């Protein structure tokens, strides 16, 4: 008699950094389960959740969730009620689907789902991406059956007997980029270096504006592929236009968001990346072996991006530039110094690769399957 299918709930969201690793792990589970696997995503509703889950044929159910802000906000009074509603919604969705296990990528939206799983005595696995564990992961770790982390520093936050260092899962398609295809897609000149700018999945206004300010100097040295964020694209293009630079010409290419193979191709063609320091982005940089200038988001919870960035910088894989230092001279000088030194680029490329574990998704998938 054939074994029944595995039923797994995925949760986490609000950014590409949470959603894309869920997809990577679900693919690894399908490959290793030995029987059909059925997934249900329970979490926040947004563009990444919609496109990523739908693209992989994963059914989605959306819930409300709140978060704890470390500053005064009227939403701090409202969000606890949203979390309670999200918990009730999670109880319903898990009752209908009744999974064997829940895999949580972290973030506030995973809390009500995992609490509902505990009510039903469904085991759950959590993965924390950052050097400093998030609050949601710390809360959920008390009853998590398995805990996966990306940075050794995060071991201090979790019980060692249930914790494994796996690294961060990376989508396989990012490893198949083609620099020639990038040249054709973005109309790049083959004999000029490329600076790739990534402000995170939602874009980064301060980083966008800092890059645009130095475009007149930067475009004398290189071409720029700039992921602006969908909501911030118009502002970046308008400011470049005020400097006499038309997007799509003069070596400046402003893209709202890289979809599918476009990001893989951009990585493959890039000589250096200027980026925020989200954990998933660092894993992608490491997988592609790209030297980076990391600009941590100063408002990130637990100062996690800054900690991530300095973990990489300590090993020589990146240069960290604090947001308050995004002046024209400092930013351009850092980029220019790396572009002009091929030996430095090669050294940084080798050292940042230490932050990529090609078996991360498989290790997490095996942990999930062990509980089915």
Tens-place pLDDT, residues 61-109: 999 876 655 555 565 666 678 889 999 999 999 999 999 999 999 888 9
Model pLDDT for residues 203-225, shown as the tens digit of each residue: 588 999 999 999 999 999 999 99
Q: What is the pTM of this model?
A: 0.88
Instruction: Looking at the structure, tell me whether residues 198 and 64 fall in a common domain.
Output: no
Q: Do both 26 and 106 map to the same domain? A: yes
Specify whether 108 is located in the same domain as 217: no
> What region, left, alpha or beta, does residue 364 occupy, with left being phi > 0 and alpha being psi -120 to 50 degrees?
alpha
Residues 188, 75 share a domain = no
In a domain, 231, yes or no: yes
Q: Are 238 and 350 found together in one domain?
A: yes
The domain in which residue 260 lies consists of 173-355
Whether residues 229 and 363 share a domain: the answer is no
Q: Give 289-313 pLDDT, tens digit per residue.
A: 999 999 998 876 678 899 999 999 9
Helices (H), the chain: 16-32, 47-55, 75-97, 110-119, 135-140, 179-186, 205-213, 215-221, 233-242, 261-269, 279-288, 304-314, 328-339, 342-352, 360-369
Residues 310-367: pLDDT tens digits? Answer: 999 999 999 999 988 887 789 999 999 999 999 999 999 999 999 999 999 999 999 9
Which residues pair with residue 270 across a beta bridge? none
- Say if residue 231 is in the same domain as residue 295: yes
Which phi and psi (to 5°) does residue 37 adopt? Answer: -120, 135
Considering the domain architecture, whether residues 134 and 201 belong to the same structural domain is answered as no
Whether 108 and 240 map to the same domain: the answer is no
Structure tokens at 49: 């959740």
Residue 25 lies in a domain: yes
Residues 150 and 211 placed together within one structural domain of the fold = no
Question: Could you read off the pLDDT of 237-252 as tens digits, one per residue?
Answer: 999 999 999 998 889 9
For residue 69, what pLDDT is reported? 52
Q: 127 and 269 share a domain? A: no
Cα(342)–Cα(357) distance, rounded to whole angstroms? 25
Q: Please indicate, yes or no, if residue 13 is contained in any of the structural domains.
A: yes
- If one counts the domains in the chain, the total is 2
Is 11 part of a structural domain of the chain? yes
- Asked whether residue 46 carries a pLDDT value surpassing 80, the answer given is no
- In a shared domain, residues 202 and 103: no
* 122 found inside a domain: yes
CATH number of the structural domain spanning residue 116: 3.40.50.2000
- Of residues 255, 275, 261, the one with CA closest to residue 320: 275
């Amino acid at each position: 008699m054939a074994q029944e299918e595995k039923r797994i709930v995925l949760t986490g969201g609000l950014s590409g950094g949470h959603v894309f690793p869920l997809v990577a792990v679900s693919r690894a589970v399908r490959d290793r389960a030995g029987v059909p696997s059925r997934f249900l995503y329970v979490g926040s509703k947004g563009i990444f959740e919609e496109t990523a889950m739908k693209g992989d044929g994963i059914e989605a159910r959306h819930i409300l969730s709140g978060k704890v802000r470390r500053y005064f906000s009227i939403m701090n009074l409202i969000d606890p009620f949203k979390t309670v509603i999200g918990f009730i919604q999670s109880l319903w969705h898990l009752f209908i689907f009744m999974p064997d296990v829940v895999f949580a990528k972290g973030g506030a939206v995973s809390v009500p789902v995992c609490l509902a799983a505990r009510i039903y005595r469904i085991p759950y696995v959590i993965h924390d991406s950052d050097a400093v564990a998030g609050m949601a992961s710390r809360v959920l770790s008390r009853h998590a059956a398995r805990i996966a982390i990306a940075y050794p520093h995060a071991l201090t936050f979790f019980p060692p007997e249930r914790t494994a260092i796996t690294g961060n899962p990376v989508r396989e398609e990012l490893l198949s980029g083609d620099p020639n295809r990038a040249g054709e897609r973005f109309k790049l000149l083959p004999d000029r270096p490329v600076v790739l700018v990534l402000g995170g999945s939602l874009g980064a206004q301060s980083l966008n504006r800092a890059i645009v300010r130095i475009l007149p100097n930067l475009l004398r040295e290189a071409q720029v592929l700039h992921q602006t964020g969908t909501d911030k694209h118009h502002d970046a293009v308008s400011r470049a236009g005020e400097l006499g630079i038309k997007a799509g010409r003069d070596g400046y290419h402003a893209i709202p968001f890289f979809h599918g193979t476009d990001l893989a191709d951009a990585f493959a063609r890039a000589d250096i990346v200027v980026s925020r320091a989200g954990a998933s982005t660092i894993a992608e940089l490491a997988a592609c072996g790209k030297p980076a200038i990391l600009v941590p988001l100063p408002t990130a919870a637990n100062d996690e991006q800054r900690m991530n960035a300095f973990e990489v910088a300590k090993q020589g894989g990146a240069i960290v530039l604090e947001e308050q230092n995004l002046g024209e001279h400092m930013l351009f000088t850092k980029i220019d110094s790396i572009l002009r030194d091929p030996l430095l680029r090669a050294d940084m490329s080798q050292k940042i690769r230490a932050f990529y574990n090609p078996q991360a998704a498989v290790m997490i998938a095996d942990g999930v399957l062990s509980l089915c």
